[in-house]
Amino acid sequence: SPFRADEPYRRALRGMYSRLAATATAALGHTPGPEPVSTLPAYTSPEELIADLSVVETSLRSHGAGALADALVVPAREAVACFGFHLCSLDLRQNSDVHERTVAELLAVAGVCQDYFGLDEAQRIAVLRAELSSPRPLASPYVQYSDETLGELAILRTAADARQRFGTMIIRHSVISKCQSVSDMLEVAVLLKETGLLVPGDDASLALDIVPLFETIDDLTRAGQVMTELFAVPEYRAWLRSARANRQEVMLGYSDSNKDGGYLASNWALYRGEVDVVAAARAAGVGLRFFHGRGGTVGRGGGPSYHAILAQPRGAVDGSLRLTEQGEVIAARYADPSLARRSLEALVAATVEASMAGPGPDDTPPEFSAAMDELAELSFQHYRALVYDTPGFADLFRQITPINEISSLNIGSRPAARTTTGRIEDLRAIPWVFSWSQCRIMLPGWFGTGSAFQTWSDGSPERVELLQRMNREWPFFRATLSNMGMVLAKSDMGIAARYVGLAEDAEFAQSVLGQLGDEHQRCLEWLQRLTGGGPLADN
């Protein structure tokens, strides 16, 4: 407009708005704001919009209007940098069993492999590698597949479409729950190939990080070996180098490992799993970032984030990390701006401090590791004996805790159980922990630890002194005891006894309550003994 010849900022901003409106229309089908004054091509990326805003900012500063740039342009530019055209990033996540069934059906229908389930691990890897060397898709639009397979393919097609419409930042990771093998990783690669999110060949591209989630005690124990074998697959290494900046992300499951093996065994399995994965990545020359699937409660990996990060083994925090901040802690940490800033500063400070240790082998004293190996095994046995090996315990748990009510709430994992068997193994970890919290027993945050200390020390002053030294000198052990002390301070066996009175079999319930009370007292006594006394939540 000739009437705007002397209004360069209005002209620039109206032009930017026109391009932004075109971007919105392409993504949403309509312009959510006023109609633009002209028709201009859409922005192809948030970076183009940031570049235009930077031009405006630079111009304002060039003639002394820096205050205006700081007040109006910089916040807009930072918002675009944070939120792009997608608002927030999402992860894909699915159980490895579902991936396995989906790939098996695709291979069978395509005539590639009729009995994928009957193959051993080496044979599966060979079949998957052969499939990943070909650009040919497996799925056919002229074949009827199971509802599960159609659903999985639809999800991936939706992800590919979202990345096309809103930008690559909207979905960047595909997380594999219950990952146990290299074939679990390659199955996801095959499914990504079906929707163009993986393109094999000389100019291979991989649009998403394929992220294994190691959840159970056994899975964490094997994590290092699985990653070593994965990094030995030439195709996978090539994808990492060419498309993923030679960096691998690995997710650790706090809730399920705790439910599987109890508090002490879970914490040690997570620590040793990190040590092994770091060693595997270092040997392969691959960068590494851990994704910590922590919850708010100690039984799900909660506790002070600053101390938790510093308690990681050497090399596990290499300049960055990911962690989940879940519903029950978001209000506590981020509802108030000053608290949110402090929470984020603590995370950044701990990440920087932990990263300064630099790469290198695990520097945990051998006698500390040896002691924890034995303590974790003793704790695991004591925990499993009650929770998994005591007939009727699962029924008692449902009678004395509000698990049924919690399962009906629209919070936590949905559904509350993976199957309808009623077994502890199939119950989701979040309602499991919440239920123990509600009846004030807090079992996931301490059970088995006191017995492990007592059995292992066996009256030996030297072993007690070693445990005390571990508390003084080892951040991991100190954080483990500190978090347990906080949970013990919240537990109340008197209130627990009232809940236990709800049980149908009073004699059996009182027997279990006696075991819980004895172990609770042992944990209290050993915590005081190893930390030098003082209030439970002293630190």
**Residue 407 confidence (pLDDT):** 80
Give, for all 539 residues of the chain, the pLDDT tens digit: 788 889 999 999 999 999 999 999 998 889 998 999 889 999 999 999 999 999 999 999 999 999 999 999 999 999 999 999 999 999 999 999 999 999 999 999 999 999 999 999 999 999 999 999 998 999 999 999 999 999 999 999 999 999 988 889 999 999 999 999 999 999 999 999 999 999 988 788 899 999 999 999 999 999 999 999 999 999 999 999 989 999 999 999 888 889 999 999 999 999 999 999 999 999 999 999 999 887 777 767 777 788 888 888 888 898 888 988 877 688 888 889 999 999 999 999 999 998 987 777 788 899 999 999 999 999 999 999 999 999 999 999 999 999 888 888 776 555 655 555 667 877 877 788 889 999 999 999 999 999 999 999 998 999 999 999 999 999 999 999 999 999 999 999 999 999 999 999 999 999 999 999 999 999 999 999 999 877 777 76
**Residue 42 confidence (pLDDT):** 95
Tell me how far apart the alpha carbons of residues 424 and 388 are, in angstroms, rounded to a whole number: 7
Q: Could you tell me the pTM of the whole model? A: 0.89
Find how far residue 210's CA is from the centre of its chain. Answer: 13
Cross-strand pairs, 248: 288
Tell me how far apart the alpha carbons of residues 471 and 521 are, in angstroms, rounded to a whole number: 20
Q: Listing from the earlier edge strand, what are the strands of the sheet with 287-293?
A: 90-95, 171-177, 209-214, 247-253, 287-293, 322-323
Residue 86 DSSP symbol: T
Dihedral pair phi/psi, residue 58, rounded to 5°? -60, -40
